[in-house]
Structure 1
Amino acid sequence: MEHLIDRINWRMMEFYSGEDSRQIAHTQCVHDYTRLLAAKSGVEPYRAMLLEIAAILHDIGCPAAREKYGDSRPPRQEEEGERICRDWLPEYPELSCADIDYVAEVVGRHHRFSEAKRLEFIPLFEADLIVNLFEGYYPLDRAAELKEKLVTSVAGRELFDLLFLK
């Protein structure tokens, strides 16, 4: 039987394939860094799986936000992403209602540092920050500043150092 994460990942790729293939690469990177940071931080395996699902779906609201509002700024993509998660995830019987609520809430708040702490999705928050820095959403010369302000996990700080500050 195909693993739940693989099925959701495949669906995400099908969703973006006609829209923006670059989003697939971004999402794969965020997913992989989320998985790595969660493992290195000792996140409990079931919670880590939910974080992986949220990482796969974290930007799923971008196309809908662009269509509806003309842009995919964070509040709009988060709102649309949470809605899409609540539409899609009930199709996966392995996920409980509480799991669906958690993943949808994370996707609907994934740019907010205070929510990353409250909902305990720091690995996803830090992974997205790392990939966004690589992709030029922030200037590389701000890496040290971003690390100090927004990277709180030991694993995230170590990875930031490896990637940007050595």
Structure 2
Amino acid sequence: MNRTQRLSQRVIEYYADNAPVASQIMHTQSVAHFARLIAETEGLDNKTCEMMEEAAWLHDIGCPPARQKYGDSKPPHQECEGKRMVHEWLDNDPDFTAKETSWLADAVGGHHRVTEAHRLHFEPLFEADLIVNLFEGYYKPDMAQHFVNSGAVSTSTGLALFEKLFGAK
């Protein structure tokens, strides 16, 4: 098993113990799939594609502790707890360098903010989460066009997916 597979297995086991299992695992798996698809189609190198997929597997791990600590998993709470948990999980993991762990923690800690997506170059993760959240009804369908118009979707692949999946041009 490679490190991404080991990490995904850890996340699935974590959700099995801490969250509404089916919905959280399916959400996370879908975001990971779209993030990898966008990253690969954009022509990012294999290491960056791997990191994007890993960030997607980790992106919502802060939800269970946020619900426990704050009574909800609103974006600021889950991002804060998620960033902390990435460090808790990976700081001493020999499969991840300190630089990789720091980037993953920052991506998880800002994955709802387009400014952070652009600053840290995790647009595939950001766009993948938007796609899955639209499918799941977290956002109203007409928000797809807003995401395109506002520049929140900025990759060529993301724009093509938003057009094909939601009719947003």
1:73-107 per-position Cα deviation (integer Å, ceiling 9, x unaligned): 00110000000000111353121110000101100
> Where does residue 164 of structure 2 map in the other structure?
162
Residues 10-159 of structure 1 aligned to structure 2 (within 5 Å): 10-18=9-17, 19-21=19-21, 22-149=23-150, 150-159=152-161
Q: How many residues are matched? A: 165
4+ runs deviating over 4 angstroms: none
Per the TM alignment, residue 45 of structure 1 is displaced from its structure 2 partner at its CA by 1.4
Per the TM alignment, residue 52 of structure 1 is displaced from its structure 2 partner at its CA by 0.9
Paired residue type of 1:126: E
Superposition TM-score, scaled by structure 1 size: 0.96
Superposition TM-score, scaled by structure 2 size: 0.94
Per the TM alignment, residue 46 of structure 1 is displaced from its structure 2 partner at its CA by 1.0
Q: How far apart in 2 are the matches of 1:33 and 1:42?
A: 14
Per the TM alignment, residue 133 of structure 1 is displaced from its structure 2 partner at its CA by 0.6
Q: How far apart in 1 are the matches of 2:33 and 2:92?
A: 24
What residue ranges of structure 2 are gaps of 5+ in the alignment?
Answer: none
Per the TM alignment, residue 49 of structure 1 is displaced from its structure 2 partner at its CA by 1.1
Per the TM alignment, residue 141 of structure 1 is displaced from its structure 2 partner at its CA by 2.3
Paired residue type of 1:136: G
Q: Give the aligned CA root-mean-square deviation in angstroms.
A: 1.1
| Identity within the alignment, % | 46
**SS of 1:140's equivalent?**
coil
Q: How far apart in 2 are the matches of 1:98 and 1:7?
A: 19
Q: How far apart in 2 are the matches of 1:144 and 1:8?
A: 34
Paired residue type of 1:72: S
Paired residue type of 1:129: L
**Bigger CA drift: 103-112 or 83-92?**
83-92
Per the TM alignment, residue 115 of structure 1 is displaced from its structure 2 partner at its CA by 0.6
